Chains A and B, each alone.
Chain A
Amino acid sequence: MPGLILFLSGLLLAPLLLGVTVRTKAAFAGRRGAPLFQQYHDLVKLLRRGQVMSGTTTFLFRVAPSLALVVTVSAAALVAPSIVSPGWGFPGDFVFLLCLLGLARFFTVSSALDTGSSFEGMGASREVLYSALSEPALLIGFGVLVRVSGEMSLGGMYGGLGSGEWLSAGTALCLVAVSFFIVLLAENSRIPFDDPNTHLELTMVHEVMVLDNSGPDFALITYGAALKLWVFASLIVNLFLTALGGSSFQYIAWFPAGMLLVGVLVGTVESVMARLSLLKTPHLLAGAGAISVLAFILSTRFLQ
């Protein structure tokens, strides 16, 4: 039941997280910024429109947005309840989760190539570059969690972590969180990997892949992107919440605070640094991988 609450609140509140980020950036820039609920207005507006489809495209272009959204919702369904119900999920469910996200990526990239536009080809090419480098960082990070908690499912992992584990392997867990955060920025096309504000030359990854999408399909994509950010953020928030211990309802109470913090953090990163040049972004992702490996070495050192 608490799991269901977390899942449904995720579905409802995901666009709000983006609103928080936007307001943070506005605060740094000394502006008032768009309303917190702007994303919801955009979604409703898009859902009520018709569509313009490119004549070059095939069925892939029509299927990809729906598929990507369904996959992200399933990811949320796997991740959201894990903090409150240790029995949730199955051994290796996080691998299944990443493979599902890979399936969505396959179709998003293909639908970008489906238009025959070289802009979208460019975005597709960069998307696969980032994902190839972020996957090792994520999976090795999960390896640390498996090692420290001794469990193989998301629910088990978060359930198996407590203040004891944080005392003995806290450094490793913090490093995992850093690595996850870098991956979050890359996977969700945030600065320093990509600039979500503009549509063309500056934004050559996610936004450029969906240049030809419009109307309800674009609403599905936008909502899916917000939900994906929510899922990745909750992976990190869940990790830190395990340090607190306590009952399910305490978790549920603390969870929004954690998410708010991640939203503000993403906004802060976007305000204080510029987008990295494209040639340097792989180094940052390789760095995330290195941090994950370091965390793993620490975890084997302290947990014989």
Chain B
Amino acid sequence: MTITLLFISLCTFLAGGLVPAFLRGNSRFSRVFGPVANVAGCAVGLLGVVLSMLYGPAESGSIHWGAPSGSMAVGIDPLSALFALPVLVISALCALHGCGYMKPYAAKGKDMSRFWAFYNFLTGGMLLVTVARNALLFLLGWEVMALASFFLVLFDAGREPVRRAAWIYLVATHLGTACILLLFSMLGSGGSLDFTGLSLPDRSWAGAAFVLALVGFGTKAGFVPFHVWLPEAHPSAPSNVSAVMSGVMIKTGIYGLLRFILFMGPPPAWWGWTLLGVGLLSGVAGVLMALSQHELKRMLAYSSVENIGIIGMGLGLGLLGISYGIPAMAFLGFAGAFLHVLNHSVFKSLLFLAAGAIQNATGTRELDQLGGLLKRMPVTGAAFLAGSVAICGLPPLNGFVGELTAYLAAFTGIQNGAGTQGALPGIIAIGGLALMGGLALACFTKAFGIAFLGEPRSPGAGSARESHFSMRFPLVALSLLCLLMGLGGWLLVGLVEPVVGMLTTGFGFPVATGVHASHAESTLRYASIGSVSVIAAVLLLLFVRSRLLARRSVTTAPTWGCGYGSPEPSMQYTASSFADPLTGLFGPALGTGRNLASPGGLFPDRAGFSSDTPDACTDRFYIPLFTGMERLFKRLRVIQHGRINLYVLSIVVALAALLAWKLG
């Protein structure tokens, strides 16, 4: 039953992709059919996922389809279900948002058939990745997902930066895929590519296989230093697509990493250390880069790098818990990572959708052009506030749940570890999480405060209007999800408990998940009680305050400007001035460029200041690397002569050689 539902869902996405693709030009039909097919597919798939959570995993068995080593094997177990759940929920909500958000594009005569075709392919590809039980089928889903998202990034291909971003994304994702192909050829050397038959021929290969998986899947997930495509692709894509890519697609990298290291036997300690280190680096670098950006969606993209870092640190603590034999740290580390996977998908897509609403309403995403939007767009503003509080990991919203669990894992390591074994990773994680938490607070008070509060800094922001209902509905739904998942955090532990159980058993270190889960649940329940009482007390105090002020004179006046008579909106603090003390402190690592045109002469007329933080990783590592490679491979251009007959000849020669090798 579960498998049938998954097949129906996959077929719905296929139909939702193919029908608009063949009806190109019939934009009006696709604009209805595309989202309807997507929501229907998500609903059916969601039913399947929920059934598997209630009644246990299901496998279809291997159905051969003719391709060598490939088979149509799908199945769903706790790990698949955990990652498929956000894919389906977030995709459906972003499809709804797209109905309103894409209207301006449609009005400009853009062909919506293409958009909805690739959108459905993207959702279908992500679902296939999570449920595939054959490596070739997995790769098929992986590539459908990568290419569909590439074409969606390229949606606004008329602009040069968009084409550049899409190109960077395509290169990055295929470098990742190359590593994954190598990994699969190692794991499948036994002959079968069905997951039941995957294994390494020799334990000594495990290290190389782990590195390949980390690079291959880490590129999709966005670990530093493989993150460079995120800040390019996310801002270029339409916002509902960025929401899906950042909220759920990058998590398929985490899924792939976990799924395939399960085939590599018990983890040595350096795997956990590597993940912890990569997570820490991604987290700190991501949030610092986010802090120094002034473009809203670029900032959100870097903040995804940070959150992937938090997930990586959780996984690292979990693996180290296994390697050092500390069951509580293993459980809490993994649980923290998985809770953050679920929570991040909600608040990050919420923030991206709100960014899209801002762009539609004001025509810009530059923070320094915005301001005062909370009064003009109250629903979007409240949603962005909820997303910001959640992403900073503050109670009572959901970001707090995963971060608290990760903290508990780290403190458990300190408490339980014999000697320094658990203490060192624990204290590193605590310091890192604390620093990231503080910097994230700086980052998101900046984003929310500069964009939504104060006075509008440009005419576009001043004339902004609240967005259409189809865009507001997903925002409200996701905000409510943030609150519910935050207050009901202990219920989520039950959701991730079987996944952790499956992982720890798979790594040969079975953990009594029930005991640890009940400890985490009780902590989260206390925290929820605390949050609810804080909310209640705030409401009570606000009531008392309003009664107190009811009989007093409450007057409205302009903001106090220290006696200055004619304040201007341009005199407000900007995004770059707000972040300046912190970016200055971390300046040597960030490489923030400052352009100052000082006023000169007796009657100065022009002066200006701007700051810009390019990606250090791109500038100092990838650009030199790729320029060098281009120089090296230029010599190969002799075989790129453009004569088709010679191309055909080389194909024939290659095929003949393959035949001779196979038969010989």
Give the B-binding residues of A (Cβ under 8 A): 47, 49-58, 60, 62-63, 66-67, 69-71, 73-74, 90-93, 95-96, 99-100, 102-103, 105-106, 109-110, 113-122, 124-126, 128-129, 131-136, 138-140, 142-143, 146-147, 150-152, 200, 211-212, 215-217, 220, 278, 282, 289, 293, 296, 300, 304
Contacts and interface: CB of A to CB of B under 8 A. Distances in A.
Q: Report which residue of B423, B434, B552 has the largest number of chain A beta carbons within 10 angstroms of its beta carbon.
A: B434
Nearest to A128: B442
B647 to A, nearest CB: 58
Contacts of B585: 129, 282
Given A139-B431, A147-B415, A102 B437 contact: yes
Contacts of A117: 559-561, 572
A298 B3 CA distance: 56
B459 interface: no
Given A102-B441, A132-B442, A54 B559 contact: yes
Nearest to A281: B581
Contacts of B554: 50-53
A173 B198 CA distance: 52
Interface string B292-309: 000000000000000000
Given A55-B558, A90-B523, A96 B445 contact: no
B411 A70 contact: no
Interface in B360-410: 371-372, 374-375, 385, 388-389, 392-395, 400, 403-404, 407-408, 410
Task: List the 8 shortest-distance A-B pairs measured between CB atoms, nearest first.
Answer: A121-B573, A132-B438, A113-B449, A116-B454, A128-B442, A50-B552, A50-B553, A90-B526
Interface of B: 371-372, 374-375, 385, 388-389, 392-395, 400, 403-404, 407-408, 410-412, 414-415, 419-420, 423, 426-427, 430-431, 433-435, 437-439, 441-442, 444-446, 448-450, 453-455, 519, 522-523, 526-527, 530, 533-534, 537-538, 541-542, 545, 548-549, 552-562, 569, 571-573, 577-582, 585
A50 B519 CA distance: 49
Contacts of B372: 56, 116
Q: SS class of chain A's interface: helix, strand, loop or mixed?
A: helix
A293 B427 contact: yes
A224 B54 CA distance: 48
B541 A70 contact: yes
A146 B411 contact: yes
9 contacts: A69-B541, A74-B534, A95-B404, A96-B395, A109-B449, A110-B385, A113-B445, A116-B453, A132-B442
Contacts of B555: 50-53
A99 B400 contact: yes
B523 A92 contact: yes
A263 B414 CA distance: 33
A29 B385 CA distance: 46
A30 B404 CA distance: 49
B533 A74 contact: yes
B551 to A, nearest CB: 9
Given A96-B527, A103-B395, A114-B453, A70 B534 contact: yes
A161 B542 CA distance: 40
A97 B631 CA distance: 57
A129 B581 contact: yes
B573 A125 contact: yes
Contacts of B560: 54, 117, 211-212
A124 B442 CA distance: 9
Contact of A56 (B437, B444, B445, B558): B558
Given A113-B445, A132-B582, A147 B423 contact: yes
Contacts of B448: 110
Given A113-B453, A143-B414, A300 B582 contact: no
A118 to B, nearest CB: 5
A116 B414 contact: no
A121 B454 CA distance: 10
A136 B431 contact: yes
Contacts of B549: 50-51, 215-216
Nearest to B416: A150
Contacts of A113: 445, 449-450, 453-454, 573, 578
A138 B430 CA distance: 10
B25 to A, nearest CB: 46
A135 B559 contact: no
A102 B420 contact: no
Contacts of B522: 90-91
Contact of B430 (A109, A122, A132, A139): A139
B368 to A, nearest CB: 12
Contacts of B559: 54-57, 115-117, 212
